[in-house]
Structure 1
Amino acid sequence: MFVDFDLDLLKQLVRIIDQHLDIMCQKATQEDDLDSFGYFDSAEHITGLGFVACQTYMSSVYGYLRIEKQKALPIGPFHSSGQSIVQIINNAANYWKHNSEWSLEKTDKQRKYIEETFEMVGFPVNTDFPLCGVLTEITFPERAAFEPIISILELWRDELRKTVA
């Protein structure tokens, strides 16, 4: 029997992350000059943490099932761009963790792959607050939060489990 303790932990983390995003949105509606208060920067960092929490859950699932990452990530559900949503989540998490390490001169295969993913979703990495944009895009038409991603990850997990059954 498959007991998904990691999903319970992710749900707890998502609840906290979404609460912080809600607080940022509430504060943003009360101010005239949002950018000077750093609300957008805070929301972007909180969103990055959310993507990393989801990525950690994903790696625990495919690791437990003994499926290689490259075989696990292309499994649906899919975004309208044609990419699997878990691939987008994985790239968003990697972007948040590593983008400040990217030098302007360095040509890196993974960086280019992440940039292509963001462009396909509609929020290039060189735009302001691309992680918030990616979150909005993959949860549309629901609100931009991580709670809607839970059901997507559950569908992905169930599809992944079928490949080893």
Structure 2
Amino acid sequence: MMDPLGCLPRLKELFEILDAKLSEIDCAINNSADPDTDGLFDQSEYYVGIGLVAAQQYLGEVATFSRIGKDKAYKLGPRHRSGIPYAKAINSAANYWKHEAEWWEDLDRMNDSNSKTMIHVGVIADSEHYQLSNFLFALSNNKEIKLKCMIPIITEWLSALSS
């Protein structure tokens, strides 16, 4: 099942746009005496989050139209060395970005699904700080913080859907 909706080129284009912004931020980080205080890591986290939500949307649409269902579809394809399927991890990371503030506001309301989301992101990010950027860095095999590293993962996931 290679891109059944024909949307992968648009996702790639969006990743290119966001990756260009991430490159600008990376340059600023390298030229800053204190990138954390300058808010540069937060900026990077924001653009990574936008890209993760776009990937989540794509995965969700493909899973829905494949008639396999998201729960089953997100278990397919490549996996992190911890065993977590990357499709599920990308979905978790997008949810983390969208809902993290709500969860931290009231940790007592944290449900099992929210806890699993945070665990998936934390295991792959292997960091307690700037988890989405570190998550993406891990997806790129510790090479760079670029959204384009998700394209081979998504492509391999698409292949697993058709198997």
| Counterpart in the other structure of 2:116 | 113
The whole-number CA distance in structure 1 between the counterparts of 2:125 and 2:20 is 26
8 A contact 1:76–1:86 mirrored in 2 = yes
Q: Secondary structure at the match of 2:107?
A: coil
Q: Which has the higher contact order (CA 8 A, sep 6+)?
A: 2
8 A contact 2:41–2:130 mirrored in 1 = yes
The whole-number CA distance in structure 1 between the counterparts of 2:152 and 2:125 is 23
Give me the CA root mean square deviation.
1.6
- Residues 24-60 of structure 1 deviation map (CA, whole Å, 9 limit, x = unaligned): 0001111111122110000011111111011111011
**Change in 2 beyond 3 A, CA 1:38/1:50:** same
8 A contact 1:121–1:137 mirrored in 2 = yes
8 A contact 1:142–1:148 mirrored in 2 = no
8 A contact 2:139–2:149 mirrored in 1 = no
The TM-score normalised by the length of structure 2 is 0.91
| Counterpart in the other structure of 2:102 | 101
- Residues 57-107 of structure 1 deviation map (CA, whole Å, 9 limit, x = unaligned): 101111121111110001121111111111110100000011111112213
The whole-number CA distance in structure 1 between the counterparts of 2:124 and 2:151 is 19
Query: Counterparts of 1:1-165 in structure 2 under 5 Å?
Result: 3-102=4-103, 103-123=106-126, 127-162=128-163
Cα distance, 1:118 vs. partner?
2.5
Letter in 2 for 1:149: M
Count the aligned residue pairs: 160
Q: Secondary structure at the match of 1:79?
A: coil
Question: Percent of pairs identical after alignment?
Answer: 31
Structure 1 unaligned regions, length at least 5: none
The whole-number CA distance in structure 2 between the counterparts of 1:32 and 1:120 is 30
Letter in 1 for 2:122: E
